[in-house]
Structure 1
Amino acid sequence: MMKRLHLMRALLIALAAVTMFFGTARAGWDPANEAKSERTINQFRKADPSLERFFSRAYGYAVFSDIYKGGIIFLGGGHGQGVVFEQGQPIGQSSVTMLNIGPQLGGQSFSEIIFFKDRDALVNFTNENYELSAQIAVVVVKAGMATNTDYSNGVAVFAMPNAGLMGELTVGGQKFTFEPYR
């Protein structure tokens, strides 16, 4: 029992260190982030052309080009940076931090786009303390998948794997922050 407690403490410390490393603050506008976001948008459009209905009709969207996620035993987490767009124009940057609990092993990188159906959904996201819980479905992008997908509570979330391998059966959530460009 004591060994297990020490192992859990070590894992929590390691996860905190990883989160601090990936969660470093970035100040102001960076054109490289926008260029990376545009490449990610093009990759999503190429992987599933039916996503165009979301890009053309959504009031806004958040693009996370690289979210890094990892887990071992019963604890895992992840972090990534992104750009938020309102009516096709970048308005700020966002970060996502994830925490998962349950059996898991491995690491991976993926891209994610969150579409906001209307102004209220985008304002809700940009007002800080926004979270996606296990109840929100994340659709893995494959050709034609967006055809059968709709908004849930004003948001639609799509993900596309980049690299890595991870096996998991977890429950968790994603917490987002937003910093407007000045």
Structure 2
Amino acid sequence: MKAIKYITIFTMLFVFAGQAQTVKDQKIIDDAAEAKVMLLKADEGLKTFFDESAGYVIFPNVGKGGFIVGAASGNGVVFEGGKKVGMADLKKLNIGFQAGGQAIIEVIFFETKNALNDFKEGKFSFAAEASAVAVRSGLAFNAKYKDGVAVFALPKAGLMADASVGGQKFKYHSFE
């Protein structure tokens, strides 16, 4: 009887833990869909990137903040061929001139399947001097891939004197 009780409790905890992760992931997926709409509304030139890239990752809520020492963090959804294939985590810690806090949408486009696979395999991080193109009407039409990657950022709230994405590290989690 005691064994059945423990098995039941363990099963319930396992089910609820799985649902909590699913609920969290679903919220991020919903936020990413909304972020894509906002990005396209801000600059319709991004449509070409969404349509023609080998894949992309949308981080709908990246929080950045710092005063001399700064950090950034966010969760996103990875798409390949227009289909959701997994989730990603973004982390950054840096030292240098910066002040304030900001919430942004960040999207990373991968020009080739090899560049996307490098991201998925954990072989991808930005060089120290890398920066994102700020999303404003018309800028995406002239934007180009650099080393197989193009990065765009759309500020949501806050103000921060730092536009760099250099030093960001990523983890990929497949849905499979």
User: Which residue of the partner structure matches residue 29 of structure 2?
Assistant: 34
Q: Which moved more, 1:100-109 or 1:86-95?
A: 100-109
Q: What CA distance in whole angstroms lies between the structure 1 residues aligned with 2:149 and 2:164?
A: 22
Q: What is the TM-score of this pair, normalised by structure 2? A: 0.82
Shift of 1:167: 2.6
How far 1:172 sits from its partner (Å)?
A: 4.6
Aligned partners of 1:69 and 1:108 also within 8 Å: yes
Partner of 2:101: 107
CA distance in 1, matches of 2:133, 2:62: 15
CA distance, structure 1, for counterparts of residue 45 and residue 163 of structure 2: 29
Report the equivalent of 1:61. 56
SS across alignment from 2:100:
strand
The within-5 A match list for 1:87-106 is: 87-106=81-100
Q: How far 1:171 sits from its partner (Å)?
A: 8.9
Is 1:144 matched with 2:134?
A: no
Aligned to 1:77, which of 71, 76, 80? 71
Cα distance 1:112–1:171, how it changes in 2: closer, same or farther (>3 A)?
Answer: closer
In terms of fraction of residues, the more strand-rich structure is: 1
TM-score under structure 1 normalisation? 0.79
- CA RMSD in angstroms, aligned pairs only: 2.0
CA separation in 1, counterparts of 2:26 and 2:85?
Answer: 12
With over 3 angstroms needed to count, the CA separation of the structure-2 counterparts of 1:42 and 1:170, relative to structure 1, is closer
The change in CA–CA distance for 1:91 and 1:77 in structure 2 (over 3 A counts) is same
1:129/1:175 contact within 8 Å kept: no
Structure 2 distance, partners of 1:60, 1:122, is 6
Q: Tell me if the contact between 1:49 and 1:144 (Cα under 8 Å) persists in the aligned partners.
A: yes
Question: Which structure 2 segments of 5+ residues have no match?
Answer: 1-19
